[in-house]
Structure 1
Amino acid sequence: MSEQRGDENERCSWCGVDREPLLVGAWEIRQQLGLSRQRIQQLADLPDFPAPYQHLEMGRVWRAAEVRTWIREWRSAG
């Protein structure tokens, strides 16, 4: 499933770049949800949160599409 959009001028709602990101870290998730770093880490530790794609020195990164799906489900449940 490709995350890139066909519209060349479309900007990412999370970070303002020209394309939606394929991977996101805690900072991008914070931007989307407006929550603290600590709260994002708590959410990321929930069993239903997507598994990280990779663990990097700077922290975990996730597939953006999986996180967007989780956010939609989390918001609709809350």
Structure 2
Amino acid sequence: MVRRLYGSAELQERLQVSRARVVQITSRPDFPEPFDRLAGGAVWLVEDVEAWIAEHRPWQAQGANPDES
């Protein structure tokens, strides 16, 4: 089973926000807990983050943008 993960850089790209904003978002009590913390920083399961996006940022949910591939 392949696990897909997001690190801070992937979150920045996925959410289209700055690095500082990623820190703010991931510090929210309603944001998923990291799957693990590595030397390079925390990583989150893609499905956990996508579920959070669907609930808290529906305009950015997968498939919400017709221009998204």
**Structure 2 length-normalised TM:** 0.75
**Greater C-alpha radius of gyration:** 1
Higher RCO by CA contacts (8 Å cutoff, separation 6 or greater): 2
CA RMSD, Structure 1 to Structure 2 (Å):
1.6
Instruction: Give the structure 1 partner of residue 23 of structure 2.
Output: 41
Q: Number of paired residues?
A: 58
Bigger share in helix:
2
Amino acid of the structure 2 residue aligned with 1:68? E
Q: Does 1:51 align with 2:33?
A: yes
CA distance in 2, matches of 1:62, 1:75: 17
Percentage identity across aligned positions?
38
Ranges of 4+ aligned residues in structure 1 off by more than 6 Å: none
Q: Aligned-pair distance for 1:33?
A: 1.1
| Structure 1 unaligned blocks of 5 or more | 5-20
CA distance in 2, matches of 1:74, 1:60: 21
